[in-house]
A and B are shown apart, each in its own frame.
Chain A
């Protein structure tokens, strides 16, 4: 069965960086893109970007350009999302999700459990 398991909660100072991991299992890691999204307390979902685990290609949302970096380590089926220059506005739960890309099935079918990032 497919699982995405994220790293644990983080507490960071303003101006610091955070790196969240997302370990995949139960499927061929390089066959699906991984998307990252976040959810501030009591708010909706905001897409941050995607990474193609096969070649490492990425696309980031305009709001995070220059501050976010997504990488992967195929040897351990893990993707990473690093966000720098943290402010209180970055306090949120960060999710990774597997993206299905075939035109008729586009959706995010499996999600990590979420990682709470506190900036204080």
Chain B
């Protein structure tokens, strides 16, 4: 199984900050990586697919990059509604796996 390791697990930041979350895969997954945002009590929401393609309707302050084994999600200027937990997911092979999550909290 492909393991995904996110860092950091917790991130404290302020409105307006630029933040970056990293996701490392235990083996190469090309660009078959997606990023999701989850708020308490809600289902995850797709932000990025294909490692760097912004899902329709997602604000342009979100961006993704990477290929192979190292990927990043960047939020260029944090907004109050961005404080949530973020997950990466690999879609290269089965079983589909997720990172453990990064909880983004308000400083």
Contact = CB atoms under 8 A, between A and B. Distances in A.
Given A105-B50, A106-B32, A113-B43, A44 B91 contact: no
B89 interface: yes
A30 B45 CA distance: 22
A89 interface: no
B49 A44 contact: no
Name the residue among A35, A106, A112 with the largest chain B CB count within 10 angstroms.
A106
A97 B99 CA distance: 17
Given A111-B43, A111-B44, A112-B43, A106 B91 contact: yes
B50 A104 contact: yes
Contacts of B97: 47
Contacts of B91: 106-107
Interface of B, helix, strand, loop or mixed by DSSP: loop
Contacts of B53: 104-105
A9 to B, nearest CB: 12
A72 B79 CA distance: 40
Contact of A107 (B49, B94, B100): B49
A26 B105 CA distance: 35
A120 interface: no
A106 B53 CA distance: 11
11 contacts: A45-B44, A47-B98, A59-B94, A95-B43, A100-B49, A105-B49, A106-B49, A107-B89, A108-B44, A109-B55, A111-B44
